[in-house]
A and B are shown apart, each in its own frame.
Chain A
Amino acid sequence: MPGSREARIEALRGRIAAIEAGTRTPTPVLPFGDPRIDDRLPGGGLPRAGWHEVVGEGLEGESGASTAAFAALLARPRISKGAVVWVLRRSDLYAPGLVNLGFPVERLVMVRVRDEAEGLSVLEDALATPGVSVAIGEAEAPDLVAGRRLQLACERAGGFGIVLHRRPYGGPARGATGSAAFSRWRVGPAPGRAPPPDSLGGGLGLGPPAWRVALERCRGGRPGAWILEHSEADHGPHPFRVVSELADHDLAQTPPERLRRVG
């Protein structure tokens, strides 16, 4: 609702950001190629340098599978040259699975760290290296200082960083608090559509994976929620296709399914 107080404040913030950006050179952005998302982002896309948080929803906060896949696809168009550094706490990331998503695994460098502080400092080091285009790290919750340092490292070398919120040894991830990230995305699985019928006429098996993605906060942008699908068709720089836009109440967590008796 355009007349609400939040919306007005948000609009003012956007104007302030625009005024501030006027004094600097405008940051180059990479749009998603779909107005339903790009209209919510300042400048019509995510800036090429900066870092973002990806939070898992429900079970995903623990397993980190959807978040990893989403982060890989979000980062993919930015890996033009240079390497990708993926900072892990548990070495369960499976490279052949990333190949399914079209991720250039030959440019991937995996680093396994022992604790949170080490992970964040390795991530910062990677982002500040000119030969690294994207760095993705798994951390519980970077505090404001760590976040600010990540931001400075991104600005220094033009890197693109993603922090996946994940507890290293099971348990749901802690909710993200305020931090210096440019944006925060909450990602969970969504039922995929049936695959398109092939030449045999049968649409058997599973279609492309889909995610329920919510943009929870974004500096100078507006929150929103969508169902996105992995799609390799040509429709913009990102390998995503917007299936539908969600209203906010769709973001409520799905209640855990109770076991029903089977007769």
Chain B
Amino acid sequence: MAAVDAAARRLGLSAGQKAADALALVPHLVTADHDPDADRRALESLCDWCVRFSPAVAVDGDDGLLLDITGADHLWGGEDAMLADLLQRLERWGVPARGAVADTAGAAWALARFGQGGAVVAPGGQREALARLPVAALRLDEAAQAQLPRLGLHRVGQLYALPRAQMAKRFGLAFTQRLDQALGAAGEALAFRRPASPWFERLAFFEPISAPDDLARVAADVLALICKRLEGEGRGARRFEVVFHRLDGKAFPVPVGLARPGRDARRLAKLVAPKLDVVDPGFGIDVITVHAYAVEALAQGQSRIDAELDAAEALAPLVDRLVNRLGEGRVWRPDPVESHVPERAVARAAPLASPAAARPWNPDLPRPTRLLKRPEPIEVLAKLPDDPPLRFTWRNRHHRVRAAEGPERIGQEWWRGDFDDTGPGRIRDYYRVEDEAGGRFWIYRQGLYGDDASPKWWLHGLFG
């Protein structure tokens, strides 16, 4: 038996029992296999659902969630209302839950598990609130938990007066740390499912909405809310996530990225609108939230479109539109890489990123306008040993070489481990040749004549 609910407990069942014993107590007991992974997944999806209350949610143990509601409770009109709403919703779905609100994660944990459900501790009131709880509420390790009652310490309040140094010596440092964390004297780092961000806004609707036009409209409204706040603090963000929460608890996130930090709600709404087809409203959307990530300082005032516009500023809207529509990898700026191997000499950078540190390409080295992704084999007739070919056949067309230039020898980068193997067969001699019609080709010979394997010729690019 992994877990029992209240009804089972009344029948005398307890967690940890053998299934056979339980069946002896309750003959018509229905059991299901314990599946910790599925439990975990369910808890995590619940955690993701809780984002409608606060962006900072952490999974706690096997059966708990911690929400950091700092700065989010005013949206419900106070902590009491917020907690009541949360518990009611869970109740409606048949997820029995107990909750509490306190200054510290430790105190909230203790009150939720050992106090009356739904307790809301006034700021700074956790010392009194915890005093009456059993020591188990302090999240202690097994040894300490077993020892304390033997010493006559049953309530948390009894621990307040004891000398700390001796306690720490006796029960370990973790003990005092847990106590401090509960009382707010020590900080506690929670592993939130998503980075905590104060940049969070939310709209709730009395009537669930489902029409696509309405979705776009409320997305624009919620974006306007957060952009107003960003503007008030002189900031802009690079990434926004608009999340549509459906009545049945499923959430549809719609991410939007910007090339430069911004806070123009109208532009953002335009970027969100084409992506709304991922949202399946079902019975209706009743809450919409928005987060801003990568928030940076941004100078006051939105730029206007005028002649004196900074070039990057003018380009940013287009880049945003294209990246959000086509995807990250389809819009790029070619950046130089210091490598002699032609296919390695170009890197893809974000279009508005700062210029690369590498040296720019040398304009005096002949390089083709079109570089084939894979060099294509050609049949050649060449004079030995080091001359460009006299004629070659590529894609079943014969070309007679009228003039040629080269060779430019490009050796392999032997310091790279990912080359197939080393040796003279990896040397490429590039020639630029022109056929009788004037077409110019970039061909290379791989390997040297006189080796065991005869060299191969390849066509790697075309010059304009």
Contacts and interface: CB of A to CB of B under 8 A. Distances in A.
A70 B464 contact: yes
A113 B330 contact: yes
Interface in A56-85: 58-60, 63-70, 72, 81-83, 85
A126 to B, nearest CB: 6
A97 B328 CA distance: 25
Contact of A92 (B313, B336, B367, B371): B371
B334 A110 contact: yes
B242 to A, nearest CB: 23
B363 interface: yes
Interface in A110-133: 110-114, 118, 122, 125-126, 129-132
A126 B434 CA distance: 36
Given A92-B372, A131-B315, A110 B333 contact: yes
B439 interface: yes
Interface residues of A, number: 65
A118 B363 CA distance: 33
B461 A131 contact: no
A94 B331 contact: no
Contacts of A189: 437-440
Given A94-B371, A131-B309, A110 B331 contact: yes
Interface in B432-464: 432, 434, 436-440, 461-464
A4 B346 CA distance: 53
A16 interface: no
A65 B370 contact: yes
A109 B326 CA distance: 14
A225 B406 CA distance: 32
B315 A96 contact: no
A259 interface: yes
B330 A63 contact: no
Contact of A93 (B326, B342, B369, B438): B369
Interface stretch (B21-29, B150-158, B277-285, B396-404): B396-404
A105 interface: yes
A109 B333 contact: yes
A149 to B, nearest CB: 16
A21 interface: no
Given A65-B464, A191-B434, A109 B319 contact: yes
A65 B330 contact: no
A105 B360 CA distance: 10
Given A131-B309, A205-B405, A65 B360 contact: no
Interface in B340-362: 342, 345-346, 351, 355, 360-362
A17 B371 CA distance: 42
B373 A92 contact: yes
A206 to B, nearest CB: 5
A121 to B, nearest CB: 9
Interface of A: 58-60, 63-70, 72, 81-83, 85, 90-102, 105-106, 108-114, 118, 122, 125-126, 129-132, 188-192, 194, 204-206, 209-212, 254, 256-259, 262
24 contacts: A59-B397, A64-B370, A65-B439, A94-B369, A96-B346, A96-B361, A97-B464, A99-B360, A100-B365, A101-B369, A109-B319, A109-B331, A114-B326, A130-B309, A188-B438, A189-B437, A189-B439, A192-B403, A204-B405, A205-B403, A254-B437, A256-B397, A257-B399, A257-B437
Q: Which 10 A-B pairs have the closest CB atoms?
A: A69-B464, A131-B314, A205-B405, A65-B462, A95-B334, A189-B438, A94-B371, A131-B315, A96-B367, A191-B438
Given A97-B464, A101-B464, 19 more contacts: A68-B370, A82-B311, A83-B315, A83-B351, A94-B367, A94-B370, A97-B367, A97-B370, A100-B363, A112-B330, A131-B316, A188-B437, A189-B437, A190-B437, A191-B437, A205-B432, A206-B403, A206-B404, A209-B464
